[in-house]
Amino acid sequence: MKVDAVAVAPLDLAAGTEILLASQKQGFPWLSANLLDPKGQPLFEPVRIKKVGAVKVGLIGLTGQLNSPPSGVRQADWRTLLPALIEKTARQCDILVLLSSLPPAENQEIARQFPAIHLILAANLDSGNMNPQQINNSLITQTDRQGKYQGVLTIDWNKNGKWGNSKEEELNTLRNRLGALNQQLQRMRKQADPQQPEYLAKVKVIEENRETVAQQIKDIELKGVVTGNGQNSTSEMSSFSFNFIPLKQSLPEAPDIRAIITGIKQQINEQNRKVTKKEESLPFLGHDGCKSCHPAQTKFWQSTNHSRAWETLQKANQAFNLECLPCHVISSSEIPVNRNQLLALPKSLQTVGCENCHVGPGKSHAANPEQFHMKKQVEEKICLSCHTPQHDNHFSYQEKMKRIACPAN
């Protein structure tokens, strides 16, 4: 596979350690600092140093929690082993990378405790593609599971080891703002009398804002990444750009393989249906709770395909398939939910509703709307989390927003 390092994750151990240890002897670069043999020695290589050009990259592997460790394997607590390991490795490299299948909360805890770690590449099964987020001096990111995407993170490294802001994050924010201003102009031109002085004044302000945002986009594209202080980061800070490349279907589908995959999916769906016992209590409100304050928006939403998203899984007999459910039921990027909880949602949450697009939690907003705000402007990255090339090859954010945007209050 020509990889530099692969951290051992819990599912890699499903068939035991023998096959991994055998491939390690043949040169496959497995890493795990917290899997130990009966004598307390690392079962796999804990650290690897790789030289990329003039930069020495240190790589540490951490394995997520094992519910049933294989025979002869003990899992150490990363809190006891990481301090000394990081101190030693950091002295040997310029940039330190952690490969981790720990839960998101623990990765964030590591980022807060160990500023010497510059990058955490995660492998959380409950998350898909994750744009790099910075905590302390660590970037945390990951790609979707099952090889659906290749994640490309390009780093312009500076020896001071401090990160600037992502060029893509800056550009996405400004492009979303530009799109919102364009939509606002379109609505005004359809609804207002163009001869009214008040109308002309409003249009002038919006057009000036649009020109300002367009110039900011052009400046960033020309100058590169900027820091939080507004300074050009190319000479003072380490910068990065990222991209998620979807796996494309370039080969014709084999009917016999397709039949096997379909059969496996049906078995998984039926097995999940059997283990579902009770409805889960989640912080989501559901569209019924939004209706009392937003009747016009709810009525419009009921006319959209989003309101019938779960029904499409029912028709395909996949309503209990955890690979499909996250994009067909209520969810929010700000509320981490265990995927298994989606198997027992109440009827009111079996849909793509307000909280998916406007980012909840809806219960808190309904109880105290002044303190807990929902996002009015639906960000493109929210849509793209489900409307991926794998499932929607022709998705256009600007075009779909014209059709899906709720009427204004």
Give the N- to C-terminal CA distance of the chain in Å, as an integer: 54
**Any domain includes 266:** yes
Sign of the four-CA dihedral 185, 188, 193, 197 = negative
**Any domain includes 118:** yes
Radius of gyration (C-alpha) of the chain in whole angstroms = 24
Mean of pLDDT values over 294-310: 90
Q: Which helix (H) or strand (E) holds 141?
A: strand 138-142
At residue 25, the pLDDT reads 93
Mean of pLDDT values over 95-103: 96
Domain final residue pick, 246, 277, 304: 246
At residue 378, the pLDDT reads 85
Looking at the structure of the chain, the number of domains it has is: 3
Per-residue pLDDT tens digits for 74-88: 999 999 999 999 999
Q: Which of 21-30, 92-101, 367-376 has the lowest mean pLDDT?
A: 367-376
Per-residue pLDDT tens digits for 200-245: 777 888 888 888 888 888 877 776 544 444 444 444 678 888 888 8
Backbone angles phi and psi of 124, in degrees to 5: -90, 125
Per-residue pLDDT tens digits for 162-209: 887 556 666 777 887 888 788 777 777 766 566 677 777 778 888 888
**Any domain includes 232:** no
Is residue 399 located within the same domain as residue 264?
Answer: yes
Is residue 204 located within the same domain as residue 312?
Answer: no
Is residue 127 located within the same domain as residue 191?
Answer: no
Beta partners for 138?
Answer: 135
Residue (of 392, 389, 262, 270) closest to 321 by Cα position: 270
Is residue 214 located within the same domain as residue 158?
Answer: no
- Mean pLDDT of all residues in the chain? 84
Q: How far apart are CA 353 and CA 350, in angstroms?
A: 9
Q: Which of 103-112, 312-321, 360-369 has the lowest mean pLDDT?
A: 360-369
Q: How far apart are CA 262 and CA 267, in angstroms?
A: 9
Q: How far apart are CA 87 and CA 168, in angstroms?
A: 32
Pick the residue with more confidence: 348 or 132?
A: 132
Residue 53 CA, chain-centre distance (Å), reads 30
Is residue 187 located within the same domain as residue 141?
Answer: no
Give the count of alpha carbons within 13 A of 357, CB side only: 20
Q: How far apart are CA 226 and CA 195, in angstroms?
A: 42
Is residue 189 located within the same domain as residue 102?
Answer: no
**Any domain includes 229:** no
Pick the residue with more confidence: 358 or 100?
A: 100
**Any domain includes 90:** yes
* Domain interval for residue 372: 255-404
Q: Which of 37-41, 66-70, 96-100, 388-392 has the lowest mean pLDDT?
A: 388-392
DSSP state of 343: G
At residue 287, the pLDDT reads 84
Q: Which of 116-120, 150-154, 157-161 has the lowest mean pLDDT?
A: 157-161
Is residue 146 located within the same domain as residue 172?
Answer: no
Q: How far apart are CA 242 and CA 133, in angstroms?
A: 12
Q: How far apart are CA 285 and CA 395, in angstroms?
A: 28
Mean of pLDDT values over 91-96: 94
**Any domain includes 409:** no
Mean of pLDDT values over 117-129: 89
Query: At 67, which CATH number?
Result: 3.60.21.10
Cβ pair 332, 314 in contact under 8 A:
no
- 3-class SS at 14? coil
At residue 75, the pLDDT reads 95
**Any domain includes 141:** yes
At residue 109, the pLDDT reads 95
Is residue 204 located within the same domain as residue 135?
Answer: no
Is residue 12 located within the same domain as residue 123?
Answer: yes
Q: Which of 51-65, 252-266, 332-346, 389-403 has the lowest mean pLDDT?
A: 332-346
Is residue 68 located within the same domain as residue 180?
Answer: no
Tokens of 86: 């990081």
Cβ pair 164, 238 in contact under 8 A:
yes
DSSP state of 306: G
**Any domain includes 107:** yes
Is residue 134 located within the same domain as residue 177?
Answer: no
Mean of pLDDT values over 260-266: 87
Is residue 219 located within the same domain as residue 261?
Answer: no
Q: Which helix (H) or strand (E) holds 126?
A: none
Pick the residue with more confidence: 41 or 274?
A: 41
Tokens of 306: 């989003």
Query: At 300, which CATH number?
Result: 1.10.1130.10
| DSSP result, 221-281 | HHH--B-TTS-B-TTTSBEEEEEEEEPP--SPPPHHHHHHHHHHHHHHHHHHHHH--S---
